[in-house]
């Protein structure tokens, strides 16, 4: 039996499509606020769902004006009911690909949570003269039915799309009653399987608008840019003859025209305009007036076109340094907040993000107003995803089923019509991960007809049958390089030879890449380098901008950010929803800092000229703006302490060009490591950051030949097999050769550590291992490979145990040899720990030597020291200030830094390896505000320096916990000194660690000096 819940169509009774979101002087009444609410366990009146209504209540009784809702609770609109009521209204569900109900399209389960909403409102007396009254819903999940004053108005569908209903004949001046029945599941749920929380309810604005006689139904002002700098306004108006005459005014440009009839409407040329771009988002206020209404818009003059394999805006190639942005907030879910959103987009600008893909639906319309104003290239995506059908070979996929054609076309029409006036939108996207088929092709044809000026994107169209750009997700570095080189030796993914040839003629973008889940992503620089090597590569969009954690509390009130599985879901996809470069608490991750440095619109380098003088090189990679907005500051530091600073005077460098400028003569200190740092900063305040905000930096070592710390060699004659029961060597005390105290405090170790708390990337299979890649087969993505953490566990790296093979002591030295291995493993690692007191200084040389059988990549190789729990801060000279790993080091600079123990690590949503600082020279640990112990590190024979991590939890404890609050109170601190770490990659849903950053088993040496301040 078919009902409106299982109807694959677009709903009924609504105006098709809803109008553009326009600023109007027409009377408008917001229905946001408190509504009466109840939650039913199923859909009343549906087959198999009997008994969900109270006894004696009819299916539609809720719509009656005299219906008694006094026993109902109150709920705010907009909101999601699962985030209200302290759990009494059900719970969120997170799935990535899976459907949280049986795959039986278009049917839905009997257990279908259904929310009934009611409220009254006063219609002003002056509305009695309105020609029409429209009721607009900007977002309701999932399908809903509307009544006004007991009259059924229609059925809405399309959760993230606006819908308007004509309620003129249903309303009256004075008190009115509106009732809305919202169902969590419907046929529409099968095409709204986006990677996000399922959050039902009326979650966007509800408004009434009085449409006066002679009003303007809709406006589209296309603002084009001529090659000579002129502007062309091409108006499209939807209005009755009674609305005319209609005028257009753009006061700043001197435009003031009036059209007496629809036939008179014509383009308006302006001699000179300032172009709109993401770098210079110049907007002009326009006003369109009729006899009954005035609407206002903001125009941005720009052109979008594709020439060959180049995507051009205003005639210049665009490089997308973008992010995929879901609408998410830890308390409100997808409910819009103006202040939050403006701050969110300003944060993007501060981290050199210049583009947004609205994954995977249109956002609240105000988001696009702000994008116009601050400046972003936007790919606006339709509210469409059917990913759950993929695992069945796309059997039954609505994308190729004629029964769903109307719904698909309705969704894309409503997407385009609502937001067509925004200059920030440079591409329309049909949706995401919905396979392919005739309905997607029909959507594309409709868009091309309606808006031929903006290209159509859809990643799933691998063969390029109906889209204008070649788009991919997570192609590996070798494959992306091959695509950029237009190498005809390989077929493109899913393509025949002719289809591959067609795709090679188009601009290429990575609509998702460098999956930013947990600690990572790595290899951002490799993708960025390819963009500037191959002009047909136009950058990409990081997956994704922000973690989707929902603020959650344990029974005792302990607060944490929940993810899949924390809400009793039957099926879920775990913490895969926590894959953003901004954490749920709004903290920018180290990965975002890395991204900012790599994709900066200006590149800096310092070299020495032939006369030895320093030269600053500036490359402007901006789209069209020069560097006049930037100031170039320098500073000189010796061993991390600033000795001098100043500003380099630089003439503005035009976009796409380079300049070299002589640095001023510098006073270089005679002692220590001396580093020059040059940073480009904002010269003046911007809408998104204050003056002085850093854009990018570079560093150069001004004294690379100066001597570094060297260690003595432990002579065999210094020790014997007669082991001293107690031995003090400077700040260290040993018992029977074992370290038990440093600087007067109990300490144990050093313990060999090959394990790290697996990162999300270590746990992922992603695109497989580069170790298995043939770059001309499998599209460079490799064969599936087990997750690293599985390989490492099987090798026993998380449970190595020692066997002492040798202990020797002397008056000034201790030598301990241990063999480390796991149960049921033939592979082992030998550590030779040689402690020696030389001229009053305590040295440790640790030689770490693996046996020859190892055939895996290691997560780390280093030593762990267990320290007192009151070691709570550290200062260091090395790289910082944030964590860094072999493939995430561009944002790390050499300097002197300090931090508390708990800020040295990142509170990722799932505990994992964090806090490693590379290339440490010296480290001073503190106890309760006072310096306690200093460690200096000497480079090894290859010049490599160790890194350090200071944390309150061991790698094994990080591994065992699902959330930060589940980590135990250890009462200890742990210092890891790593000779090396494996890279982090983006294997959670992307490529593996690049081979150059992989840690293969090999002998390593750590040489450390310990002293008490």
Predicted local confidence at residue 2, as pLDDT: 53
Average pLDDT, the chain: 94
Mean pLDDT along residues 733-755: 96
Q: How far apart are CA 760 and CA 663, in angstroms?
A: 44
Q: How far apart are CA 551 and CA 505, in angstroms?
A: 47
The single-letter DSSP state of residue 86 is: G
Predicted local confidence at residue 10, as pLDDT: 94
Mean pLDDT along residues 635-645: 94
The single-letter DSSP state of residue 730 is: T
Order of all β-strands in the sheet with 694-701: 641-648, 630-638, 674-682, 694-701
Are 281 and 373 a contacting pair, CB within 8 Å? yes
**Residue 782 predicted with pLDDT over 60:** no
∠ CA 96-98-102 to the nearest 5 degrees? 155
Q: Classify residue 838 by burial, with Cβ atoms within 10 Å: 0-12, 13-18, 19+.
A: middle
E strand segments, 810-859: 813-821, 828-838, 841-850
Helix and strand tally (H, E) in the chain?
11, 60
Predicted local confidence at residue 773, as pLDDT: 39
Quickly state the pLDDT bin for 51 (edges 50, 70, 90). low
Quickly state the pLDDT bin for 612 (edges 50, 70, 90). confident
Of 142, 60, 71, 139, give the one whose Cα is nearest residue 100: 142
Which tokens belong to 251?
């006061």
Per residue in 845-904, pLDDT tens?
999 999 999 999 999 999 999 999 999 999 999 999 999 999 999 999 999 999 999 999
Predicted local confidence at residue 774, as pLDDT: 35
Which tokens belong to 376?
């972003």
Which tokens belong to 998?
């992989």
Of 367, 381, 770, give the one whose Cα is nearest residue 541: 381
Distance of CA 396 to the CA centre of its chain: 32
**Phi, psi for residue 752 in degrees, rounded to 5:** -60, 135
CA dihedral defined by 233, 236, 239, 240, rounded to 10 degrees?
100
**Residue 784 predicted with pLDDT over 80:** no
Are 904 and 590 a contacting pair, CB within 8 Å? no
| Least confident interval from 233-242, 303-312, 528-537 | 233-242
- Active-site residue set: 433, 512
Quickly state the pLDDT bin for 16 (edges 50, 70, 90). confident
Are 627 and 602 a contacting pair, CB within 8 Å? yes
Stated pTM of the model: 0.96
Instruction: Map residue 951 onto helix, strand or coil.
Output: strand
Are 323 and 545 a contacting pair, CB within 8 Å? yes
How much helix, strand and coil, in percent to the nearest 5, is found in the chain? Answer: 15, 35, 45
The residue length of the chain stands at 1013
Quickly state the pLDDT bin for 812 (edges 50, 70, 90). very high
Are 188 and 159 a contacting pair, CB within 8 Å? yes
Q: How far apart are CA 362 and CA 341, in angstroms?
A: 14
The DSSP secondary structure of 300-341, one letter per residue, reads: ----EEEETTEEEETTEE--EEEEE-----TTTTT---HHHH
Predicted local confidence at residue 122, as pLDDT: 96
Per residue in 753-779, pLDDT tens?
999 999 999 998 765 444 443 332 333
Which tokens belong to 662?
């002589």
CA dihedral defined by 675, 680, 681, 683, rounded to 10 degrees?
130
The single-letter DSSP state of residue 764 is: -
Of 768, 762, 767, 820, give the one whose Cα is nearest residue 791: 762
The DSSP secondary structure of 119-155, one letter per residue, reads: EEEEEPGGGGG-SEEEEEES-EESEEEEEETTEEEEE
Are 752 and 739 a contacting pair, CB within 8 Å? no
Type and span of the H or E element at 181: strand 174-183
Mean pLDDT along residues 261-266: 94
**Residue 594 predicted with pLDDT over 90:** yes
Quickly state the pLDDT bin for 609 (edges 50, 70, 90). confident
Per residue in 158-209, pLDDT tens?
999 999 999 999 999 999 999 999 999 999 999 999 999 999 999 999 999 9
Instruction: Map residue 582 onto helix, strand or coil.
Output: strand
- Region of residue 643 (left: phi > 0; alpha: psi -120 to 50; beta: else): alpha
Q: How far apart are CA 166 and CA 16, in angstroms?
A: 11
Are 72 and 118 a contacting pair, CB within 8 Å? yes
Predicted local confidence at residue 783, as pLDDT: 55
Predicted local confidence at residue 19, as pLDDT: 81
> 810 to each of 59, 609, 636, 718, 728, how far by Cα in Å?
91, 54, 45, 6, 11
Residue 17 preceded by cis peptide, ω within 30: yes
β-pair type (132-137, 630-638): unpaired
Which tokens belong to 99?
């459907």
Are 698 and 618 a contacting pair, CB within 8 Å? no
Instruction: Enumerate residues 6+ apart whose C-beta is below 8 A from 370.
Output: 341, 342, 345
The single-letter DSSP state of residue 242 is: G
CA dihedral defined by 873, 879, 882, 888, rounded to 10 degrees?
-150
**Residue 15 predicted with pLDDT over 80:** yes
Predicted local confidence at residue 786, as pLDDT: 86
Per residue in 388-413, pLDDT tens?
999 999 999 999 999 999 999 999 99
Beta bridge partner(s), residue 821: 801, 828
Q: Could you identify the residue written with the tokens 């107690």? A: 726
Are 314 and 655 a contacting pair, CB within 8 Å? no
Predicted local confidence at residue 777, as pLDDT: 31
Residue 521 preceded by cis peptide, ω within 30: yes
**Residue 124 predicted with pLDDT over 50:** yes
Rg of the chain in Å (alpha carbons): 32
Of 231, 222, 214, 237, give the one whose Cα is nearest residue 288: 237
CA dihedral defined by 321, 324, 325, 328, rounded to 10 degrees?
-140
**Residue 747 predicted with pLDDT over 50:** yes
Predicted local confidence at residue 289, as pLDDT: 96
Predicted local confidence at residue 717, as pLDDT: 67
Per residue in 902-915, pLDDT tens?
999 999 999 999 99
The DSSP secondary structure of 478-525, one letter per residue, reads: HHHHHHHHT-TTSPPTT--HHHHHHHTTS-EEEEEES---SS----HH
**Residue 564 predicted with pLDDT over 50:** yes
Are 218 and 418 a contacting pair, CB within 8 Å? no
Q: How far apart are CA 985 and CA 523, in angstroms?
A: 6
Per residue in 427-457, pLDDT tens?
999 999 999 999 999 999 999 999 999 999 9
Q: How far apart are CA 774 and CA 34, in angstroms?
A: 60
Q: How far apart are CA 296 and CA 299, in angstroms?
A: 10
Which tokens belong to 883?
């964590």
Q: How far apart are CA 794 and CA 790, in angstroms?
A: 6
Q: Could you identify the residue written with the tokens 């003629």? A: 505
Half-sphere exposure of 760 (CA within 13 A, CB side): 26
Predicted local confidence at residue 47, as pLDDT: 60
Start-to-end CA distance of the chain, whole Å, equals 81
Which tokens belong to 107?
């049917």
Which tokens belong to 934?
């200093």
Within 10 Å of residue 389's Cβ, how many Cβ atoms?
Answer: 23
**Phi, psi for residue 150 in degrees, rounded to 5:** 80, -5
Per residue in 683-722, pLDDT tens?
999 999 999 999 999 999 998 777 678 777 766 667 787 8
């Amino acid at each position: 039996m078919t009902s409106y819940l299982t109807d694959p169509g677009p709903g009924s009774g609504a105006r098709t499509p809803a109008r553009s979101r326009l600023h109007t002087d027409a009377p408008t009444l917001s229905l946001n606020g408190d509504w009466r609410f109840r939650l039913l366990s199923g859909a009343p009146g549906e087959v198999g769902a009997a008994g969900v209504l109270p006894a004696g209540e009819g299916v539609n009784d809720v719509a009656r004006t005299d219906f008694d809702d006094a026993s109902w609770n109150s709920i705010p609109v907009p909101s999601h009911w699962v985030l209200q009521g302290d759990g009494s209204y059900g719970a969120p569900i997170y799935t990535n690909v899976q459907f949280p109900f049986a795959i039986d399209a278009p049917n839905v389960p009997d257990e279908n949570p259904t929310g009934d909403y009611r409220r009254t409102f006063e219609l002003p007396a002056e509305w009695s003269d309105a020609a029409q009254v429209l009721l607009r819903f900007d977002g309701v999940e999932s399908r809903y039915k509307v009544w006004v004053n007991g009259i059924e108005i229609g059925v809405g569908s399309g959760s993230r799309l606006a819908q308007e209903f004509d309620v003129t004949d249903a309303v009256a001046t004075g008190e009115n009653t509106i009732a809305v029945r919202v169902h969590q599941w419907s046929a529409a749920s099968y095409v709204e399987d986006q990677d996000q929380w399922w959050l039902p309810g009326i979650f966007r604005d509800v408004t009434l608008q009085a449409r006066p006689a002679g009003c303007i139904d809709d406006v589209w002002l296309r603002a084009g840019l001529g090659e000579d700098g002129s502007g062309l306004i091409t108006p499209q108006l939807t209005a009755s003859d009674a609305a005319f005459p209609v005028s257009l005014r753009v006061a700043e440009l001197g435009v003031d025209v009036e059209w007496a009839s629809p036939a008179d409407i014509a383009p308006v040329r302006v001699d000179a305009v300032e172009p709109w771009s993401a770098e210079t988002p110049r907007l002009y206020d326009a006003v369109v007036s009729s006899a009954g209404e005035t609407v206002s818009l903001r125009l941005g003059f720009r052109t979008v076109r594709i020439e060959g394999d180049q995507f051009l805006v205003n005639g210049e190639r665009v490089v997308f340094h973008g992010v995929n942005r879901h609408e998410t907030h830890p308390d409100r879910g997808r409910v819009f907040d103006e202040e939050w959103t403006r701050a969110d987009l300003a944060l993007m600008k501060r981290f050199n993000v210049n583009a947004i893909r609205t994954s995977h639906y249109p956002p609240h319309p105000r988001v696009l107003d702000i994008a116009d104003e601050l400046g972003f290239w936007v790919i606006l995506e339709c509210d469409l995803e059917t990913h759950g059908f993929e695992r069945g070979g796309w059997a039954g996929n609505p994308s190729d089923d004629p029964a769903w054609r109307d719904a698909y076309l309705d969704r894309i029409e409503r997407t385009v019509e609502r937001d067509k006036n925004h200059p920030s939108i440079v591409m329309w996207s049909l949706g995401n991960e919905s396979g392919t088929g005739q309905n997607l092709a029909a959507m594309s044809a409709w868009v091309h007809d309606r808006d031929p000026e903006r290209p159509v994107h859809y990643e799933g169209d691998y063969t390029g049958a109906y889209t204008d750009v070649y788009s991919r997700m997570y192609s590996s570095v070798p494959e992306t390089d091959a695509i950029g080189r237009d190498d005809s030796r390989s077929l493109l993914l899913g393509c025949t030879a002719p289809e591959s040839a067609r795709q090679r003629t188009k601009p290429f973008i990575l609509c998702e890449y460098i999956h930013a889940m947990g600690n990572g992503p790595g290899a951002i620089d490799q993708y960025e380098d390819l963009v500037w090597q191959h002009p047909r590569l136009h950058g990409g969009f990081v997956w994704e901008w922000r973690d989707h954690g929902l603020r959650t509390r344990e029974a005792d009130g302990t607060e944490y950010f929940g993810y899949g599985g924390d809400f009793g879901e039957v099926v879920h996809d775990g913490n895969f929803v926590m894959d953003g470069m901004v954490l749920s608490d709004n903290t920018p991750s180290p990965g975002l800092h890395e991204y900012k440095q790599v994709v900066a619109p200006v590149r800096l380098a310092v070299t020495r000229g032939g006369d030895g003088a320093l030269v600053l090189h500036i490359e402007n990679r901006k789209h069209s703006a020069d560097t006049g907005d930037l100031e170039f500051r320098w500073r000189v530091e010796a061993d991390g302490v600033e000795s001098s600073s100043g500003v380099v005077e630089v003439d503005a460098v035009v976009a796409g060009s380079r300049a070299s400028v002589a640095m001023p003569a510098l006073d270089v200190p005679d002692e220590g490591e001396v580093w020059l740092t040059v940073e480009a900063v904002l010269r003046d305040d911007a809408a998104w950051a204050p003056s002085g905000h850093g854009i990018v930096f570079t560093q150069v070592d001004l004294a690379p030949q100066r001597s570094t710390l060297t260690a003595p060699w432990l002579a065999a004659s210094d020790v014997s097999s007669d082991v001293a029961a107690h031995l003090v060597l400077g700040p260290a005390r040993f018992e029977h050769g074992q370290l038990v105290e440093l600087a007067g405090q109990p300490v144990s170790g050093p313990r060999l550590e090959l394990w790290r708390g697996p990162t999300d990337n270590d746990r992922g299979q992603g695109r497989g291992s580069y170790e298995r890649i043939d770059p001309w087969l499998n599209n460079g993505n490799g064969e599936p490979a087990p997750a690293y953490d599985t390989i490492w566990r099987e090798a026993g790296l998380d449970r190595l145990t020692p066997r002492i093979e040798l202990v020797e002591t002397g008056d000034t030295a201790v030598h301990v040899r241990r063999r480390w291995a796991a149960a049921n493993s033939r592979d082992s690692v030998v550590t030779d720990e040689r402690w020696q007191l030389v001229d009053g200084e305590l040295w440790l040389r640790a030689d770490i030597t693996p046996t020859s059988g190892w055939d895996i990549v290691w997560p780390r190789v280093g030593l762990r020291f267990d320290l007192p729990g009151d070691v709570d801060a550290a200062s260091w000279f090395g790289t910082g200030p944030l964590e860094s790993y072999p493939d995430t080091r561009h944002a790390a600079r050499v300097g002197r830094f300090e931090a508390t123990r708990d800020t040295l690590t990142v509170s990722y949503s799932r505990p994992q390896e964090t806090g490693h600082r590379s290339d440490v020279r010296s480290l001073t640990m503190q106890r309760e505000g006072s310096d306690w112990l200093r460690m200096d590190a000497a480079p090894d024979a290859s010049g490599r320096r160790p890194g350090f991590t200071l944390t309150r939890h061991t790698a094994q404890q990080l591994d065992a916990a699902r959330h930060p609050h589940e980590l135990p109170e250890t009462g200890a601190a742990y210092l890891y000194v790593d000779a090396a770490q494996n890279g982090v990659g983006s294997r959670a849903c992307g490529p593996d660690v690049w081979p150059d950053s992989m840690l293969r088993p090999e002998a390593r040496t750590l040489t450390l000096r310990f002293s008490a301040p």
